[in-house]
């Protein structure tokens, strides 16, 4: 006789999934077409049918901490072939958003990041930090915020000192890393417990060395977006995602190089355009802008795919970062210094938002999905 299971629906969780883009989950009548259609679902314990059942019943404990939710790349094949229009891909995307909120610290900030009404407040926070700290330093005689610099050739640091920028950005970045670490620790424990309960692995304890080896092994898959290429419906997203990914990587390298040049080697900017690090920065900036435009184009083209605020937040941030960064440089080279400084301030706000809110936004999937894919490789589930 089959074991009985007492269902305790979490209505609040169902409503949250609906708010985050999974409103069609109740249309699912559990035909399993989605699991058959998915080209990247494992043969053992395939998704997303079991996740659709759990979501429709509000079984939060079956979904939060479920690594399979992150193996889905929302390629859209399941949603296209669904006979009921239940949009399984969008439902799993909404569950991922709910997962990020659940593991974030503080959770209240994560809920703010997912709420478009709170965006003005979120943007006002870094603006206040820069202006207030800059003014306070100016009062005590440290001229790190100069609204009226003089000279024939000015650059961003003449208005907002790089020292002020680093003093603000470094703690913000380290804070984001800490938030990720706290969330990932809980997520990993729950993911392993979930895998044991569902028979996805027979390894009682995780071997750290073997897991690191699995993590290294899946890096080429991530860098080449191999899973996107296996998708049938939305594989054109590969180019946009890769341009954004490599744009961010390139700009991260450039930022660290110039940080070392200033703080370690004491080489002050501005740096010449023939500098190879400058070349990398320009190429990465262009890649970020073009990738963002492609993301926007793909989102607008998919009329049958739900685009929640969670998605538009990412697209908007990518484009704002790329466009303001490139405009700052071009306006400075064109001698439009005051306008360049204004755009640069907006760019700094965007960078702060990137650092501070990434653990609470859709960008967090870079970390959570990587860990989930590494765990699948580690567990040997194919």
What are the domain boundaries of the chain?
11-105, 108-379
C-alpha to C-alpha distance for 212 and 333, rounded to whole angstroms: 45
Return phi, psi of residue 29, to 5°: -115, 25
Per residue in 69-113, pLDDT tens? 999 988 888 888 899 998 999 999 999 999 999 999 999 999 999
Three-state DSSP class for residue 160: strand
Q: Which two tokens stand for residue 122?
A: 């979120």
Q: What is the pLDDT of residue 230?
A: 77
C-alpha to C-alpha distance for 53 and 57, rounded to whole angstroms: 6
Q: What is the pLDDT of residue 196?
A: 92
Mean pLDDT, the chain, whole residue set? 90
Q: What is the pLDDT of residue 247?
A: 97
Residue 218: closest CA among 60, 27, 375: 375
Task: Give the residue-averaged pLDDT of 309-330.
Answer: 94
Q: What is the pLDDT of residue 370?
A: 96
Q: Please state the separation of Cα 236 from the chain's center in Å.
A: 19
Cβ atoms within 10 Å, residue 234: 20
C-alpha to C-alpha distance for 32 and 82, rounded to whole angstroms: 9
Q: Which of the residue ranges 174-183, 229-238, 350-359 would you say has the lowest mean pLDDT?
A: 229-238
Indicate the burial class of 72 (C-beta count within 10 angstroms; 0-12, 13-18, 19 or more). buried
Q: Which two tokens stand for residue 357?
A: 């809110």
Q: Which two tokens stand for residue 132?
A: 């207030």
Per residue in 6-31, pLDDT tens? 777 888 999 999 988 888 998 998 89
DSSP string, 267-285: --SPPPTT-HHHHHHHHHH
* pLDDT band (50, 70, 90) for residue 375: very high
371: left (phi over 0), alpha (psi -120 to 50) or beta: alpha
Per residue in 261-318, pLDDT tens? 888 888 877 888 889 999 999 999 999 999 999 999 988 887 666 678 888 999 999 9
Radius of gyration of the chain (CA): 23
* pLDDT band (50, 70, 90) for residue 51: very high
C-alpha to C-alpha distance for 145 and 143, rounded to whole angstroms: 6
Per residue in 163-208, pLDDT tens? 889 999 999 999 999 999 999 999 999 999 999 988 888 888 999 9
**Where would I find the H helices in 198-263?**
208-224, 226-230, 237-263
C-alpha to C-alpha distance for 115 and 121, rounded to whole angstroms: 11
Residue 241: closest CA among 227, 256, 253, 251: 227
Q: Which of the residue ranges 101-105, 160-164, 366-370 would you say has the lowest mean pLDDT?
A: 160-164
Task: Give the residue-averaged pLDDT of 213-219.
Answer: 95
Is a pLDDT exceeding 90 seen at residue 5? no
Asked whether the bond before 270 is cis by omega within 30 degrees of 0, the reply is yes
Q: What is the pLDDT of residue 305?
A: 67
- Note whether 137 and 101 are within 8 A (CB): no
C-alpha to C-alpha distance for 173 and 171, rounded to whole angstroms: 5
If one compares 157 and 350, the residue with the highest pLDDT of the two is 350
- Per-residue H/E/C for 90-129: HHHHHHHHHHHHHHCCCHHHHHHHCCHHHHHHHHHHHHHH
Q: What is the pLDDT of residue 102?
A: 94
């Amino acid at each position: 006789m089959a074991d009985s299971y007492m269902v305790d629906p979490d209505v609040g969780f169902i409503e949250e999934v609906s708010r985050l883009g999974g409103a069609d989950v109740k249309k699912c009548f559990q035909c399993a077409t989605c699991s058959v259609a998915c080209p990247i679902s494992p043969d053992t314990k395939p998704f997303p049918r079991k996740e659709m059942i759990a979501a429709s019943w509000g079984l939060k404990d079956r979904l939060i901490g479920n690594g399979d939710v992150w193996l889905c790349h929302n390629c859209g094949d399941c949603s296209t072939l669904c006979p009921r229009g239940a949009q399984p891909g969008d439902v799993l995307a909404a569950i991922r958003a709910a997962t990020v909120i659940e593991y974030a610290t503080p959770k209240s900030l994560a809920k703010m990041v997912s709420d478009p009404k709170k965006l003005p407040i979120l943007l006002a926070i870094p603006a206040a930090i820069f202006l207030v700290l800059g003014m306070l330093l100016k009062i005590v005689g440290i001229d790190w915020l100069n609204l009226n610099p003089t000279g024939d050739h000015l650059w961003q640091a003449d208005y907002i000192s790089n020292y002020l920028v680093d003093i603000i950005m470094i703690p913000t970045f380290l804070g984001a890393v800490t938030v990720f670490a706290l969330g990932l620790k809980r997520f990993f424990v729950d993911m392993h417990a979930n895998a044991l309960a569902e028979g996805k692995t027979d390894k009682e304890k995780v071997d750290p060395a073997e897991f690191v080896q699995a993590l290294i092994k899946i890096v080429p898959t991530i860098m080449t977006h191999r899973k996107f290429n296996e998708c049938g419906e939305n594989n054109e997203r590969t180019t946009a995602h890769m341009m954004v990914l490599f744009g961010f990587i390139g700009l991260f390298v450039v930022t660290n190089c110039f940080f070392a040049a200033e703080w370690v080697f004491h080489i002050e900017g501005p740096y010449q355009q023939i500098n190879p690090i400058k070349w990398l920065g320009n190429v990465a900036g262009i890649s970020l802008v073009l990738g963002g435009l492609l993301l926007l184009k793909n989102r607008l083209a998919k009329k049958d795919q739900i685009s929640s605020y969670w998605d538009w937040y990412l697209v908007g941030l990518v484009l704002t970062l790329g466009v303001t960064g490139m405009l700052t440089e071009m306006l400075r080279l064109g001698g439009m210094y005051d306008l360049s400084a204004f755009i640069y301030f907006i760019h700094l706000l965007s960078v702060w938002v990137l650092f501070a809110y990434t653990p609470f936004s859709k960008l967090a999937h870079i970390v959570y999905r990587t860990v989930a894919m590494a765990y699948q490789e580690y567990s040997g589930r194919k």
